[in-house]
């Protein structure tokens, strides 16, 4: 390298490096900046600046060439990402196209990615629930994976910390299995959601339908205004990027905040090839980056590395960081790196109709999406022939009863009919999956990506537990819908591959024992204590909550730990 | 008539340049439709446009041609239909022409407005007859493809979304319990 002189090395040396600028990397960057550490944030994709880089955010449906539909050319070129529900004409520019970053599907896996500053935090479904000890104690109680090295009390203050800043709307529901948090006012349930909530409460022990908790500013506090964000305007066009900063994204919140600290440098177009390990010092000293524009390799140095590349790419970075000390990937003394990958099972839905409450409807749009049913299966004790359980969404809506019958004047009249139809209700499952050694990611031995980095080989499948849980979800929801008086109940199960849930987790799991896990209770590699992994890769088990809030709390807690202890030294 | 000229004339007549999508390129400032996949001759393009107008005619409110919906239909079929959908569309278009010729002894474009409506209404009626074996033939498939895109284009058009059922980009509110009576009053 031409620029290996002292000055250049100094220019490339920081207190901390954060790999990734999305949900968890943004939090690491913000916390490091707040604490005054000179920090470099590396992002493999392009920059997406809040407001400026949301090209479709204020477009009306008719302003899109295909009124929102994607073209066949785009679909044919992207069989994977075009399966994603949010991959429409308005947001397709925030998704990785299939050919841009190839990977090997040893078993079918739909890997949905967002390579840009902010990552998938621009695109997420914004549902945020805390874990409880029913979740953290799951593996130990039920005998799978390894015991989590942390409990709710360890993470609770960090949930509070990130909730206050991100802005989470919800109600104090007082449920042991879904702890309350620092909430802005919740979005209320509508007439039929309330009816179902009351019905479930009266008929079933420990089953609840609550307002979905979500990362929207229902009523902003000063800390949100200080970020330049404002009240959620109920557009529900979030995937385009929000001109009000009404929902939490790294782009609207943590990244600009971090940059304003004056301590943080953001470098887009920077793919991390590997983390550099110094055998004499016994620690990581920096990262090797490939500039995606120039294809030049550049090294950056720091005392600590935060790896937040999103679950599977964090696995890839560690697997590709080999040395004499770590021939099988950085920190991989246990041989567990890349293994015990799990996800969420979203493969069942149910819909029905309610012939009542006709005097009520809704007005405007609900950014929370409706109700949330926390896990009620196997919470207090094992009660089914499968392990763990599922949460579920629940929503009710009424639409104008239009028809497109006829032609001419008749058709025109049918299309503007202003009568409301019956209430429609629906639910989808969010099931926990059990991490297993046989569900893994690894480096492909021959194929490389456009930057010369081995492609990731993914081998993740459903198991019998997932099938039983799915069946139970359909049975239980059908029963709950039937007893509520809903009619025309239709369950639909799909055969989607894992991945489309966009909740892939694990591979760099936490645990107490370095022989069976990668990370300690502070999210540091057991064997290389100045590398922290605080994204989905660190998950020992998945439970069934939407995971982003937990990653945010992990990242903030890990930065705090590094700054307080610097304990590897 | 040369196809390009025909399309240019069509676009001019409809005065819908403002709605012409990105795949239209200028020729001395005049827009010309260039379809990437679909191969249609001038008569076929006229037929599709006339069918759009039959489905959604100008009445006291604008029709398909006024709103450029027919151009939108071309664009959707050209850009968003897959190969099979386009092949079915073309075969269906020919069978549709044949069916019209069999019934009236002339082309759809030469029918009176009343005849075109009668023909379309027949297909609408057929679809409601149970076990009608003609209901799923390719000519009917062509009709429903054009109708589906016409309705989609119309109900997502600026005209419809600002003057018929108003679309709010920024509702700014969510009222979870809203009396229907109040809604009707709005």
B59 touches chain A (CB under 8 A): yes
How confident is residue B185, by pLDDT bands cut at 50, 70 and 90?
low
Does some domain include residue A217? Answer: no
Question: Which residue out of B116, B177, B185, B186 would a mutagenesis test of the A interface target, given it has the greatest number of A Cβ atoms within 10 Å?
Answer: B177
The Cα A297–Cα A293 span in angstroms is 11
B165 touches chain A (CB under 8 A): yes
CA atoms of B56 and B45, how far apart (whole Å):
16
Q: Domain coordinates of chain B in residue numbers?
A: 43-185
Decide if pLDDT at B26 tops 80: no
- CB nearest A411 (choices: B55, B164, B184): B55
- Give the model's pLDDT for residue B33: 62
B104 in contact with A, Cβ within 8 Å = no
pLDDT in tens, B119-177: 999 999 988 887 777 767 899 999 999 999 999 999 999 999 999 999 999 999 999 99
Nearest to B152 among A67, A189, A412 (CB): A67
User: pLDDT per residue over B64-106, tens digit each?
Assistant: 999 999 999 999 999 999 999 999 999 999 999 999 999 999 9
Cβ atoms within 10 Å of A302's Cβ, excluding its own: 22
Question: Which range marks the domain in which residue A154 is found?
Answer: 1-170+251-342+436-460+503-569
| Whether residue A166 is found in the same domain as residue A182 | no
Q: Show residues of chain B in contact with A72, CB under 8 Å.
A: 79-83, 85
Query: What is the 3-class SS of A28-62, one letter each residue?
Result: HHHHHHHCCCCEEEECCCECCCCCCCCCCCCCCHH
Domain-embedded: residue A184: yes
Do A334 and A366 fall into the same domain? Answer: no
Nearest C-alpha of chain B: how many angstroms from A521? 42
**Together in a domain, A125 and A94:** yes
Distance from CA of B56 to the nearest CA of A (A): 5
The pLDDT assigned to A566 comes to 76
pLDDT of residue B39: 87
CB–CB contact B61 A412 (8 Å): yes
Question: Does B169 sit within 8 Å of A235, measured CB to CB?
Answer: yes
Residues A362, B179: C-beta atoms closer than 8 Å: no
Q: Which residues in chain A are contacts of B165 at CB distance < 8 A?
A: 400, 416
- Among candidate residues A478, A497, A516, the one where a domain is terminated: A497
Cβ <8 Å between A187 and B72? no
- State both tokens at B59: 């009445």
Evaluate whether residue A226 is within a structural domain: no
Q: Do A338 and A454 belong together in one domain?
A: yes
Q: Chain A contacts of B144, Cβ < 8 Å? A: none
What pLDDT shows up at residue A330?
98
Spell out the per-residue pLDDT of chain A, length 569, in tens.
455 577 799 999 999 999 999 999 999 999 999 999 999 999 999 999 999 999 999 999 999 999 999 999 999 999 999 999 999 999 999 999 999 999 999 999 999 999 999 999 999 999 999 999 999 999 999 999 999 999 999 999 999 999 999 999 999 999 999 999 999 999 999 999 999 999 999 999 999 999 999 999 999 999 999 999 999 999 999 999 999 999 999 999 999 999 999 999 999 999 999 999 999 999 999 999 999 999 999 999 999 999 999 999 999 999 999 999 999 999 999 999 999 999 999 999 999 999 999 999 999 999 999 999 999 999 999 999 999 999 999 999 999 888 999 999 999 999 999 889 999 999 999 999 999 999 999 999 999 999 999 999 999 999 999 999 999 999 999 999 999 999 999 999 999 999 999 999 999 999 999 999 999 999 999 999 999 999 999 999 999 999 999 999 999 999 999 999 874 44
pLDDT surpasses 60 at B32: no
Among candidate residues A389, A507, A525, the one with its CA nearest the CA of residue A459: A507
Residues of B in contact with A404 (CB under 8 A): 147, 151
**Pair A511, A149: CB distance under 8 Å:** yes
Distance in Å, alpha carbon of A130 to nearest chain B alpha carbon? 25
In this structure, is residue A18 part of a structural domain? yes
Residues in contact with A443: Cβ distance below 8 Å, sequence separation at least 6, in sequence order: A316, A319, A320, A454, A455, A456, A457
pLDDT at position B35: 86
CA angle in degrees (0–180, nearest 5) for A403-A409-A412: 40
CB contact under 8 A, A411 and B184: no
Tell whether A234 is covered by a domain.
no
Is residue A115 in some structural domain?
yes
Strand-pairing partners, residue A175, are: A178
A405–B124 CB contact, under 8 Å: yes
Mean pLDDT for B3-30 is: 38
Query: Model-level pTM greater than 0.90?
Result: yes
Of the candidates A22, A20, A89, A90, the residue with the CA atom closest to the CA atom of residue A54: A90
Asked if A512 and A469 sit in the same domain, the reply is no
The structural domain count of chain A equals 2
- For residue B122, the chain A residue with the least C-alpha distance is A406
Interchain CB distance below 8 Å, A58 and B169: yes
- List of E strands, A355-479: 360-364, 371-373, 390-397, 423-432, 440-448, 454-459
Predicted pLDDT at B16: 38
Does any CB of chain A come closer than 8 Å to the CB of residue B73?
no
Of the candidates A450, A475, A497, which is a domain's last residue? A497
Please report, for residues A185, A315, A350, the alpha-carbon distance to residue A320 in angstroms, rounded to integers and kept in the order given. Answer: 45, 9, 42
On whether residue A230 sits in a domain, the answer given is no
């Amino acid at each position: 390298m031409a620029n290996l002189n002292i000055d250049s090395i100094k220019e490339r040396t920081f207190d901390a490096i954060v790999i990734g600028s999305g949900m968890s990397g943004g939090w690491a960057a913000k916390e490091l900046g707040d604490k005054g550490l000179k920090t470099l944030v590396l992002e493999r994709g392009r920059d997406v600046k809040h407001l400026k880089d949301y090209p479709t955010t204020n477009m009306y449906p008719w302003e899109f060439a295909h009124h929102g539909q994607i073209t066949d050319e785009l679909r044919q070129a992207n069989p994977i990402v075009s399966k994603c529900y949010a991959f429409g004409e308005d947001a397709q520019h925030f998704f990785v196209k299939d050919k841009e970053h190839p990977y090997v599907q040893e078993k079918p896996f739909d890997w949905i990615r967002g390579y840009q500053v902010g990552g998938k935090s621009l695109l997420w479904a914004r549902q945020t629930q805390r874990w409880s000890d029913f979740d953290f104690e799951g593996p130990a109680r039920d005998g799978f994976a390894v015991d989590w090295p942390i409990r709710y009390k360890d993470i609770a203050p960090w949930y509070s910390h990130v909730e206050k800043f991100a802005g989470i709307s919800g109600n104090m529901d007082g449920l042991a299995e879904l702890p309350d948090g620092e909430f802005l006012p919740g979005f209320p349930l509508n007439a039929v959601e309330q009816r179902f909530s009351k019905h479930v409460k009266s008929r079933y022990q420990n089953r609840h339908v609550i307002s979905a908790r979500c990362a929207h500013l229902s009523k902003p506090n000063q800390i949100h205004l200080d970020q330049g964000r404002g009240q959620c305007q109920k557009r529900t066009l979030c995937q385009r990027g929000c001109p009000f900063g009404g929902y939490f994204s790294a782009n609207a919140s943590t990244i600009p905040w971090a940059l304003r600290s004056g301590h943080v440098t953001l470098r887009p177009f920077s793919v991390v090839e590997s983390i550099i390990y110094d055998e004499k010092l016994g620690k990581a000293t920096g990262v090797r980056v490939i500039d995606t524009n120039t294809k030049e390799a550049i090294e950056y140095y720091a005392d600590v590395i935060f790896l937040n590349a999103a679950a599977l790419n964090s696995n890839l970075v560690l697997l590709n960081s080999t040395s004499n000390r770590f021939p099988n990937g950085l920190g991989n003394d246990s041989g567990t790196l890349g293994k015990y990958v799990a996800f969420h099972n979203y493969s069942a839905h149910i819909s029905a109709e309610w012939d009542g409450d006709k005097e009520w409807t809704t007005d405007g749009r609900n950014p929370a999406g409706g109700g949330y049913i926390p896990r009620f299966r196997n919470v207090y004790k094992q009660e089914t022939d499968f392990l763990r359980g599922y949460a579920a969404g629940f929503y009710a809506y009424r639409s104008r009863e239009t028809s497109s019958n006829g032609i001419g004047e008749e058709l025109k009249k049918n299309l503007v009919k202003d009568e409301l139809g019956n209430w429609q209700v629906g639910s989808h499952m969010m099931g926990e999956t059990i991490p297993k050694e046989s569900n893994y990611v690894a480096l492909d031995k021959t194929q490389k990506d456009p930057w010369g980095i081995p492609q990731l080989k993914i081998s993740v499948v459903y198991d019998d537990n997932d099938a039983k849980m799915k069946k139970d979800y359909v049975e239980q929801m059908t029963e709950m819908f039937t007893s509520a008086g809903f009619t025309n109940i239709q369950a639909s199960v799909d055969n989607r591959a894992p991945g489309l849930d966009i909740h892939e987790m694990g591979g760099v799991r936490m645990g107490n024992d370095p022989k069976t896990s990668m990370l300690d209770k502070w999210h540091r590699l057991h064997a290389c204590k100045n590398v922290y992994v605080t994204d989905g890769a660190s998950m020992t088990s998945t439970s069934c909550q939407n995971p982003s809030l937990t990653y945010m709390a992990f990242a903030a807690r890990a930065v705090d730990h590094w700054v307080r202890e610097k304990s590897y030294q | 008539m040369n196809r390009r000229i025909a399309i240019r004339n069509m676009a001019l007549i409809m005065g819908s340049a403002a709605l012409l999508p990105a795949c239209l390129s200028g020729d001395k400032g005049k827009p010309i439709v260039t379809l990437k996949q679909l191969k249609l001759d001038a008569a076929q393009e006229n037929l599709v446009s006339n069918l759009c107008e039959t489905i959604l005619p100008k009445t006291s409110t604008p029709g398909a041609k006024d709103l450029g919906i027919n151009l939108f239909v071309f664009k959707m079929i050209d850009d968003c239909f897959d190969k099979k959908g386009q092949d079915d569309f073309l075969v269906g278009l020919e069978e549709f022409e044949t069916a019209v010729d069999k019934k009236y002894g002339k082309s759809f474009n030469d029918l009176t407005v009343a005849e075109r409506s009668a023909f379309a209404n027949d297909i609408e009626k057929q679809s409601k007859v149970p076990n009608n074996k003609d209901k799923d033939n390719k000519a009917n498939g062509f009709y429903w493809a054009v109708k589906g895109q016409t309705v989609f284009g119309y109900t997502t058009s600026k005209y419809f979304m600002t003057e018929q059922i108003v679309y709010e980009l920024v509702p700014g509110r969510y009222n979870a319990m809203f009396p229907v009576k109040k809604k009707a009053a709005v």
